[in-house]
Structure 1
Amino acid sequence: MQHDRKQVAVWDVFVRLFHWCLVVAVAVSFYTTKTDGIPFLFPIEVHAQAGYLIIGLLIFRIIWGVLGTTYARFSTFVYGPRDTAVYTKALFKRRAPRYASHNPLGGWMVVLLLLSLSFQAVSGLFLSDDIFFQGPLYGLLGRDISGELASLHALNSDVLLILIGLHLVGVVVHALQGENLVAAMVTGIKRFTSEPVDIKQTHRTKHHLFALGAFLVAAGICGWLWFYPY
């Protein structure tokens, strides 16, 4: 029997742009740590610029996560320990309910990714390779602390790769369950055979004004870092 599929507008255009711009920036950032210069003449400089862009994107997402549309807000998809435990138990029993936004585990994965990315990008501001690159905040905390941050920066890059891998596994698992998250992050629409448990009314009053303000703040900080006079 064919069920009618319910369409829910979940992720607004700003969330989707943030997501795909972040994917590109993170990919460039990782690539420039492995390349010998192809196609970039100074990979470390491109690596730093990708980091500045990531900082700008993260600032926008944090602001949008507080002031943005309903499903963009952290309060919509970050659940407490009890709800997360209940969902996890249901997931292992293959009885997990469907969510319009991120499910409890997915919400915490978003938080962990944002925290790891934030540390990675911000710690890079304090680093120097003593040859081609010196971060805009290098020396502010002293050479010893910068050295410690360099070690943590390298370690966190491995943590970040693990988190990204887990995120991709989650996307595949959802796809196997008939939920195409990649398409939803392109169109903003998710489709369900029954109403998701977290369905909410969306309110868009002044959201475009908030988005503009968040963009200007993020772009200002990103621009300052990008054009910082080393």
Structure 2
Amino acid sequence: MQSRTTRIAVWDAFIRLFHWSLLAAVIISFYTTKTMGQPFLFPLEVHAQAGYLIIGLLVFRLIWGWVGTPYARFSTFVYGPRTTARYSKALMARRASPYASHNPLGGWMVVLLLVSLGFQALSGLFLSDDIFFQAPLYGVLGANMGDLLAQLHSLNSDLLLVLIGLHVAGLLWHTLQGERLIPAMLTGVKRFHSPPVDAKPVSSRRQTCYAVGALLIASGVSGWLWFY
């Protein structure tokens, strides 16, 4: 007898727009670091502008993580250590229950990625190449702190690459287990053969107003940095 498949609209349009925009901005940011020392070939301002866009996107995600649709909220997918440990054990034994939103491990990976991206983008606001470019907040914290942030900015870029690699590895793992996560991030819909642990009721239409407000705030932050 064929099992019944349940379709659940998990990722709203704003989350999907955020995800793919953030991916594009991160790719641009990393790519432009390869042209350092060739400022006229690829101006350092492009690297900085990608960072400003990332800051705006993160501002939106933080707001949407509190007032957004149920599956977008941090309270839905950030679990305590015991739940995360139990899920990890079940995952290794291939007995893990399905989650509509991020599972406990995926939720913490999202948090780590957001924190690392946030630090990377914010620390960049205090840097300068001493020749062609000065970020909006360069010099505000003094030369010593600026040098420290420059070192941490470089180290965190390596950490960020590791986190992104782990994120991709997790995506491949779940894909091999039959979860179609990439199509879900395109359509917003996930399919389940059994009810997910974190099933949520349909959200209110009023959240569209919240999304517009969050987008305006995020756009204001990015715009101020871009034209500072």
Fold equivalence (TM over 0.5): yes
1:35 shift after superposition: 2.8
* Superposition deviation, residue 205 in structure 1: 3.4
Once structures 1 and 2 are overlaid, which stretch shifts more, 95-104 or 41-50?
A: 41-50
Is residue 8 of structure 2 the alignment partner of residue 2 of structure 1?
A: no
Give, in whole Å, the separation in 2 of the partners of 1:123 and 1:50. Answer: 14
Q: Which runs of 4+ in 1 moved over 3 A?
A: 40-43
Task: Give 1:45's aligned residue.
Answer: 45
Counterpart of 2:59 in 1: which secondary structure? helix
| Superposed displacement of residue 5, structure 1 | 1.2
Per-residue deviation, 1:36: 6.2
The answer to whether 1:185 aligns with 2:179 is no
**In structure 2, what residue type is equivalent to 1:177?**
Q
In 1, distance between residues paired with 2:82 and 2:124? 36
Matched, 1:225 2:220: no
2:62 and 2:75 mapped to 1: Cα distance? 12
Deviation at 1:142, TM superposition (A): 0.3
- Give 2:73's aligned residue: 73
TM-superposed CA distance for 1:43, in Å, is 3.3
The offset of 1:41, in angstroms, is 3.6
Partner AA of 1:53 in structure 2: L
Structure 1 SS opposite 2:191: strand
Q: Percent identity?
A: 68
CA-CA distance at 1:2 after TM superposition: 2.5
What does residue 127 of structure 1 align with? 127
Indicate whether 1:149 and 2:131 are aligned: no
Aligned residue number for residue 96 of structure 2: 96
2:199 paired residue number: 199
Q: Which residue does the alignment assign to 2:164?
A: 164
- TM normalised by structure 1 equals 0.96
Cα contact 1:56–1:222 (8 A) shared by 2: yes
Residue segments in structure 1 that go unaligned for 5+ positions in a row: none
TM-score normalised over the length of structure 2: 0.97
Deviation string, structure 1 residues 183-211 (Cα, Å, up to 9, x no partner): 10000000011111111112223101100
Q: How does 1:202-213 map to 2 (within 5 A)?
A: 202-213=202-213
Q: Is the 8 A contact 1:37 1:43 kept in 2?
A: no
Q: Structure 2: how far apart are the matches of 1:169 and 1:42? A: 31
Q: Residue 56 of structure 2 corresponds to which residue in structure 1? A: 56
What amino acid is aligned across from residue 33 of structure 1 in structure 2? T
CA distance in 2, matches of 1:128, 1:42: 16
Alignment length (residue pairs): 228
Secondary structure in structure 2 of the residue aligned to 1:217: helix
> Structure 2: which 5+ residue stretches go unaligned?
none
Cα distance in 1 for partners of 2:200, 2:30 equals 37
1:17 aligned partner? 17
